[in-house]
Structure 1
Amino acid sequence: MPPRLHLGHHNLGPEYWGIIDPLLTERGKQQCMELGRSFPYESCIDLVVTSPMRRAIYTGLAAFESFFNDRPGTNLIVHPDLQEVGQFPCDVGSTIPELLLEKERENLPIDIGLLTDDWTSKEGRYQAIRGKIQARALNMRCWLRKRPEKDIAVVSHGAFLHFLTDDWEDACKHEATSWANTEHRVYNFVEQSDEMHGNDEASMQETTFSRERRGKTGPPLNLESQRQLREIMLDGWVKQGYPVK
């Protein structure tokens, strides 16, 4: 059976967009601690996967601290496809040697074996071009769907999470996202080729409980409605100063 996904987000305000791969602010650290205390599925988590951005890595380590404390030798997996879509300095990551040095210096339980030397380039598969982002999101969904774990915690970024989930409701509520910092939502993979999700080989849908917890009482939008909403939301991102070609 495909795993259940617990998706979380950590972004920075516009005042930090000019800093390359920034660390968590003090407020960010506090939010991670609050998430760790309030997260209701802690005992279910089998794996933690994060974006390679340092703010995402440290969010995963802080919010799920007890998970790692209870499982000595377990590593957080860092996946390059979870990085943010933009090309602002804050969305450009640290190099592999820099992350290795930090891992050793801080004794971080992380596995960066999936990173390649070009992951920070914002070129090729990592370009801020819609087709490239959609392909990266599909690759990430397929990777997650094939994992043997039952419950996976995923930490990424607000804009990319809309591509990952293909869920575009309220996507301009904040800066290019509807996700609040350290907000978490729960998604399940769905059967392929249904009229709700089309032919995507790894479609996902937010659970009813997760939707209700954030005030969404109606059913999820169907595929065509999501596609129409995506175009409206992406135009809104441009007006917010967060363009995706």
Structure 2
Amino acid sequence: MGKTTIHCVRHAQGYHNLNEANHQIHDPDLTTLGEQQCATLSQTFPYHSKVTHLVASPLRRTLYTCLLSFPAEVQAGLKVAALPELQETSDLPCDTGSEPSVLAAEFASGKFAGSVDLELVKEGWNNKQGRWSPAGSAIEARARDARIWLRNLAQSTGGDADIAVVTHGGYLHYFTEDWEGNEKFTGTGWANTEFRSYEFLSATDEAASLVETRESRERRKGTEKPLSADEQRELKAAAEREWRDSGFQSGSGAENAKL
């Protein structure tokens, strides 16, 4: 397998981020500030010339963050692949995606017509049941499936790939299996439009686990040495307890409503 880098990005500010009442908005759009954050990221992201694929959660805020943050790539013909496994963790309206037909209509015309690939977005992807539920085990399973899908995507093109993945703050802790600093913001250690870069642990690892690059850790001033597996488990358990006590957890899953 060649060198594959996954550039993980948290979405820009959405209307649900403004206050708790807005958590009842179904699949909210980006705020004006959110759009400005995307414009800033488009100017500061240093790897535009290397990006080979664009992938995003099918929620509207993540799709638009990807489209607005990587305009050169979109203009060059790269489509944003909408991957349901990347959707946010909770079952609140703000974290529940739109029907496939609604998304298809929205991206069939206008500025971004034809720029989003919805082939993987099937009926039921947004029902928040079964594999899509807010249960911790379900989130972990689809995070693993998303990593495997991305690794297979890279391998299908020879393994040399730089993939930009736009998703959600709470979900990113499950996706990267890194819980360091998860209390920095409300329910996440990721700021809006923050990006971090990762490589796969190996080409055969069953979990397709990721390892953050040294350059990425230095850029965000993370701990010099990655945390141990035991330390990560302790942080994960503490974060889920905090989310549950704060009312952002339903059942056994992390319900990160403010993300």
TM-score of the pair, normalised by structure 1:
0.92
Which of 181, 185, 190 lines up with 1:174 in the alignment?
185
Structure 2 unaligned runs (5+)?
A: 253-259
Say if 2:176 is the partner of 1:165: yes
What secondary structure does 2:7 align onto? strand
Residue 187 of structure 1: aligned partner: 198
C-alpha distance in 1 between matches for 2:134 and 2:223: 33
Residue 256 of structure 2: aligned partner: none
- Which amino acid in the other structure matches residue 104 of structure 2? L
Residue 108 of structure 2: aligned partner: 104
CA pair 185-76 structure 1, distance change in 2 beyond 3 A: same
TM-score of the pair, normalised by structure 2:
0.87
> What's the % identity of the aligned pairs?
38
C-alpha distance in 2 between matches for 1:208 and 1:35: 21
Residue 3 of structure 1: aligned partner: 4
C-alpha distance in 2 between matches for 1:202 and 1:243: 26
Map of 1:51-130 to 2, 5 A cutoff?
51-69=57-75, 71-72=76-77, 74-106=78-110, 107-130=113-136
Q: Is the 8 A contact 1:51 1:83 kept in 2?
A: yes
C-alpha distance in 2 between matches for 1:104 and 1:192: 37
Residue 213 of structure 1: aligned partner: 219
Q: CA deviation at 1:75?
A: 1.3
Q: Is the 8 A contact 1:171 1:177 kept in 2?
A: yes
Structure 1 unaligned runs (5+)?
A: 194-198
Which sits farther off after the overlay, 104-113 or 26-35?
104-113
Q: CA deviation at 1:92?
A: 0.7
Which sits farther off after the overlay, 41-50 or 142-151?
142-151
Q: Provide the aligned length of Structure 1 versus Structure 2.
A: 238
- Which amino acid in the other structure matches residue 248 of structure 2? Y
C-alpha distance in 2 between matches for 1:97 and 1:175: 32
CA pair 29-129 structure 1, distance change in 2 beyond 3 A: same
- Which amino acid in the other structure matches residue 175 of structure 2? L
Which sits farther off after the overlay, 184-193 or 38-47?
184-193
Which sits farther off after the overlay, 199-208 or 227-236?
199-208
